[in-house]
Chain A
Amino acid sequence: MLARRLFSTTRARLDTLVFVEAAGAKITPSSLSAITGAQQIGKPVTALVAGPEGQAVADTVAKIPGITKVLVSPSEQYNHYLAEEVAPLVQSVVAKDGFTHVVTPASAVGKSWLPRLAALLDVQPVSDVIKVESEDTFVRPIYAGNALATVKTSDSPVLASIRGSAFEPAATEGGSAAVETVDAAESQNRTEFVSEDLVKSERPELGSATRVVAGGRGLKSKETFDQLMEPLATKLGAAIGASRAAVDSGFCDNSLQVGQTGKIVAPELYVAVGVSGAIQHLAGMKDAKTIVAINKDADAPIFGVADYGLVADLNEAIPELTEKL
């Protein structure tokens, strides 16, 4: 026993490392879900925070119950979370402290750096985990969510991205983890950040909203989209989403797209307006608790997953619905 204890002081920590993203100085909702996923692996969880606002974010992360330690690298080089910067940072942290698991939200950021790190470590990551079965076995959707695969990994460390909509967000009060600064990794970057164009909205963030109203091709134009969807969303305190057809037709911004190639959402209430319900769209919303479909085509596949369906003309039904809610 003694020998083992002595040995353990020099040996790698058997902990999970979770990468926590922030927008501004605020932890992203998908990161809170990733922390829950990380905790379900069943090992002590260390959080890693990076970027110029890192110190403030780290102090917030330290209050999350179940986090044993927060590592922070508040360097400017992690601004915008470029994969060429984040992957070497996580690699250096793993090399130093020997984590058995590295977890990230399956966000645009997580999806960009985790596979890059995986190549550097020669491991095959598990994307978009919706359920943690054990420390090496995970469930993930394949074929646009038409099938669920249970996979067991033989790699070490285990790399996984967590689908935010499948895990409850972690509580943000009650913990008191120590915060420790880690050195930035040597920059290997040859990518230059030029600019960004983020959609400014007062509405809840689509990925984590409890209610979502989504418009499709049936709305016919950007004018009708705005005219019908905005008041309904305001009334419900909902985020606005869209089908690919609506995005392609220019009714709204691409970042609002719900589906296999857009956002995956699982709100309490999802109201699909003029959305036909192609399998690629269903992949992004069929885990919503209650689905309402309003469409004038009674044969639209969306009615196959809807809890409540209404065959009606949108131009009349939506204003009426908005008024009566």
Chain B
Amino acid sequence: MSKLRVLVPIKRVIDFAIKPRINKAGTGIDTKGVKFSMNPFCDIALEESLRLKEADKVDSIHAVSIGPTKAQDILRIALAKGADNATLVDVGDETVEPLAVAKILKKIVEKEDSNIVILGKQAIDDDANQTGQMLAGLLNWPQATNASKVVVNGDEVEVTREVDGGSDTLKAKLPLIVTTDLRLNEPRYASLPNVMKAKKKPLTKLKPADLDVDIAGRLETLKVEEPPKRQAGIMVSSVDELVQKLKDAGAV
């Protein structure tokens, strides 16, 4: 019975608690001096891999990030949490679209001989929700998106998914792509001794050209702007006043 050789792709994004500011030119988000962290859904994907490892279902966990040189900081965190080794595909300051990321990931899957890829369902910066499904398409592997429960039984994986109106359960044989929903688990923190140890774990650095992948974008961002501002509301002092205001506004 083959064990899991897990690949966990991890994205470095602006921390979820920070309200992003649009740059002066209106072409993107200001990233200067802003706190970056691991994308929360990627953290959940990593946590799930670690739990499967603790249940003795895993051979190895390989973490990979495609991003700027600084993305190695979050890969070190992944290593500190328990990933065995990592790859940084350094793309400099380029924005890489999900299709190009999926193409790079396909190459890493082949390189690492992975038989399961666990990804976050979406990155909280571009909110695309595409990469996992694209990778499944490129590899022609089965996919289970928005996982809230993953059960591994030998070569067979049963995944419960969040869908509109409730949940459903799918079953597939390895190899497989899983994307994680928030409800899947509660990620752990990396302990300080493990952070120190992670510095000695292997981290390979590559360029997209090393993998022969063209990362040119297909979408041109013409502008980035603030959503329309809501008019300032009013505070009411009683339920009666609230009901009156709603009636006056025709809302009830």
Contact = CB atoms under 8 A, between A and B. Distances in A.
Interface in B112-162: 121-122, 124-138, 140, 142-146, 148, 158, 161-162
B19 interface: yes
Contacts of B233: 291, 303, 305-309
B90 interface: no
B98 A115 contact: yes
B125 A120 contact: no
A152 interface: yes
Interface string A59-85: 000000000000000000000101110
Contacts of A308: 233-236, 242, 245-246
Contact of B142 (A147, A191, A317): A191
Contact of B242 (A198, A286, A310): A310
B165 A255 contact: yes
A119 B140 CA distance: 10
Contacts of B132: 115
A147 B20 contact: yes
Interface string A102-141: 0000011101111111111011111110000000010001
A236 B17 CA distance: 33
A311 B239 CA distance: 10
Given A116-B136, A124-B99, A310-B242, A108 B163 contact: yes
B127 A127 contact: yes
B168 A195 contact: yes
B101 to A, nearest CB: 10
A124 to B, nearest CB: 4
A263 B230 CA distance: 21
Contact of A142 (B125, B137, B163): B125
A311 B95 CA distance: 44
A321 B230 contact: no
A115 B137 CA distance: 8
A45 B144 CA distance: 30
A106 to B, nearest CB: 9
A193 interface: yes
B102 to A, nearest CB: 6
B98 A141 contact: no
A255 B166 contact: yes
Interface string A10-40: 0000000000000100001000000000000
A188 interface: yes
B166 A197 contact: yes
A190 B127 contact: no
Point out which of A118, A189, A317 has the most chain B C-beta atoms below 10 A from its C-beta. A118
Given A112-B145, A190-B173, A310 B235 contact: yes
Given A108-B163, A253-B166, A307-B234, A150 B130 contact: no
Interface in B39-75: none
B41 to A, nearest CB: 8
Nearest to B146: A108
A145 B227 CA distance: 7
25 contacts: A111-B133, A115-B133, A124-B99, A127-B127, A127-B128, A137-B222, A143-B124, A147-B22, A147-B224, A148-B225, A149-B224, A154-B220, A155-B218, A191-B142, A196-B169, A198-B166, A199-B166, A255-B163, A268-B251, A269-B246, A269-B251, A279-B17, A280-B16, A286-B227, A321-B239
Given A142-B127, A196-B168, A269-B246, 16 more contacts: A108-B146, A111-B145, A118-B137, A119-B99, A119-B138, A144-B127, A146-B20, A193-B170, A194-B170, A199-B166, A255-B162, A255-B167, A260-B127, A268-B251, A291-B230, A321-B242
Interface of B: 14, 16-17, 19-20, 22, 29, 97-99, 102, 121-122, 124-138, 140, 142-146, 148, 158, 161-173, 181-183, 217-227, 230-231, 233-240, 242-243, 245-246, 249, 251-252
Interface of A: 23, 28, 80, 82-84, 87, 107-109, 111-120, 122-128, 137, 141-155, 188-199, 205, 207, 236, 244, 247-248, 253-255, 260-261, 263, 268-269, 279-280, 286, 289-292, 294, 303, 305-312, 317, 320-321, 324-325
